Amino acid sequence: MSGKATTTIGIDLGTTFSCVAIVNGVNNDPEPVANNFGNRITPSVIAYDPKNPSTLIGEAAVNSGLDPTNILYDAKRMIGRQANDTSVEKDKKLWPFRVESKQGKPHVKLMHNGNERLIPPEEISSEVLKEMKAIAERFLNTNVTGAVITVPAYFDHRQRAETMRAAEIAGLRVLKLISEPTAAAIAYMNKDKNELNGKTVMVFDLGGGTFDVSIVKIDKGIKVIAIDGHNHIGGQDFDESIMEYFKECYKKKKNRDFPTNRPKLLSRLRLNCREAKHILSNREQPAPITIEVNEDEDFTCELTREKLNEMIEPMLRGTLDIMDRAIQQAGMTISKIDLVLLIGGSTRIPKMQELLTKKFGEDKLRHRINPDEAVAIGAALLAHNPDEYSIDTGDNAVFKIDSNGILHVTKEEVETGNIANIEIKYDGKPQDDPDIRRIVEEAREHEQEDAKFIELINKRKAFEKVVYEKKWHIEDKSKNETALGIVKKYLDWSDKLPNDIKEYDKELAKFNKDIAEYP
């Protein structure tokens, strides 16, 4: 690497926290850059002042005291998605801010500077990117000329396109979009090339809002063999589980429901639950969660590590199922994975490390680089010296924005050389107000059908809980392939969701009979 001063940066644009890193021009060491609060990760939170033009980012937004309907987060869970996507519909019920559809895309509706606004996800993300750029420029005392920005490996073309659009709005020249696991692998290659060279490496990235897993082959460069992930497994989902536990605790002791119609109270509860989770990641003693419900009412609920594990273990085991899927996609077995790089703050959770240790053995796990910073560090290294890291993902995708603001992806197949221009657009037909009202009316008419469907879904959950518990028992004990094949057969059957709820009782009886000979 050259000794020149850098003007390029790497940005990890995260669901809950974002990080910017640079490569020091003096000794070519990568380093995350601290914000004005002295923190090297910044909350991906934006507050819009309802009466003034000001916009606050990060800690300033979290501590702004503004109404929670004006404090936005989770833009990464909306970007590139349609407003009627199942995940967006589910999240809308949890967000304190209001989300509406405009031309098929989710927009946040709020008051800003005395005016009502509809803000798309890419504009929200652009505010975070602007802040990352500003943090780096204050540190470097010069203008940033380009950035490598990371995205989840499983992001589709539309999600990547909107991330590019967010960067354009932020005034950032994007040198490359790179997957988060690949960036983390670059960070580890830089730290210890000898250990990784010639190895098959799994990058296990569990962050605040998303889960990514990639299997890569390191041999001078990085060859991506398999990727998988999930948009809705992360620290925030664990926080929601803790919040539900707190509400149950309150109802049990007070004999009344916890007030859920006060956004500021729920925001305080969310922060306190997150703090309890962090405490239990570092110590085994119970963590108290205390909330001032009213001026004359403080309520404390104690959370133990055992209870936390009980609540989040199904989600943690879900990441292992996705991981197994990636291994299968790669045509490998667990024994062929040489090293596992732990990335993302949620990999600090002791139960997650315990489950991974059971799978791979402690000697294969690596967390030598701060899991919150590894992705940004890898992106910064690639931005500083793109020629040093050869990355083979099976194809080469270049994103271009035309004069009309429509983003195209030029995908050049490496083997054939064929080029196809694909216009990135929202596939869902934009719904006008009458259509939306009609949908609402139909939903009311079909409430009884909805209730039956919910009953069917709950039956499936109960069925799969029994099957998964047996699966985990077999994996922990005998690892019998025949038994695991039986488990897979019944899970595949359940995934198709039979029309008749009674089928689940029949299949459960068959499952118990088939699996009985495998203790």
Residues in the chain: 519
Q: Which long-range contacts (CB under 8 A, 24 or more apart) does 457-463 make?
A: 459/501, 459/504, 460/494, 460/497, 460/504, 462/504, 463/494, 463/504, 463/507, 463/508
Specify the residue for token string 């199904």: 314
Per-position DSSP letters for 108-127, written without gaps between them: EEEEETTEEEEE-HHHHHHH
Contacts of 99 (CB under 8 A, 6+ apart): 78, 83, 88, 91, 92, 106, 107, 108, 109
Neighbours of 141 (CB within 10 A): 7
> What is the distance between the alpha carbons of residues 371 and 379, in angstroms, rounded to a whole number?
14
Tell me how far apart the alpha carbons of residues 89 and 429 are, in angstroms, rounded to a whole number. Answer: 17
- DSSP per-residue letters across 414-449: TTT--EEEEE----SPPP-HHHHHHHHHHHHHTHHH
**Residue 29 falls in the annotated catalytic set:** no
Active site residue 205: yes
180 annotated active-site: yes
Q: Is 417 left (phi over 0), alpha (psi -120 to 50) or beta?
A: left
- Location of structure tokens 């420029």: 137
Q: Choose the catalytic residue: 76, 105, 130, 133.
A: 76
Rg (CA), the chain: 24
The secondary structure of residue 200, as a DSSP letter, is E
Which one from 123, 180, 228, 475 is the annotated catalytic residue?
Answer: 180
CB contact set of 407 (below 8 Å; sequence gap of 6+): 161, 164, 165, 399, 400, 401, 424
The single residue of 12, 74, 127, 373 carrying the catalytic annotation is 12
Query: Choosing from 205, 239, 372, 373, which is the catalytic residue?
Result: 205
Contact between residue 163 and residue 126 where contact means Cβ atoms under 8 Å apart:
no
Question: Could you confirm whether 12 is annotated as catalytic?
Answer: yes
Known catalytic residues are: 12, 76, 180, 205
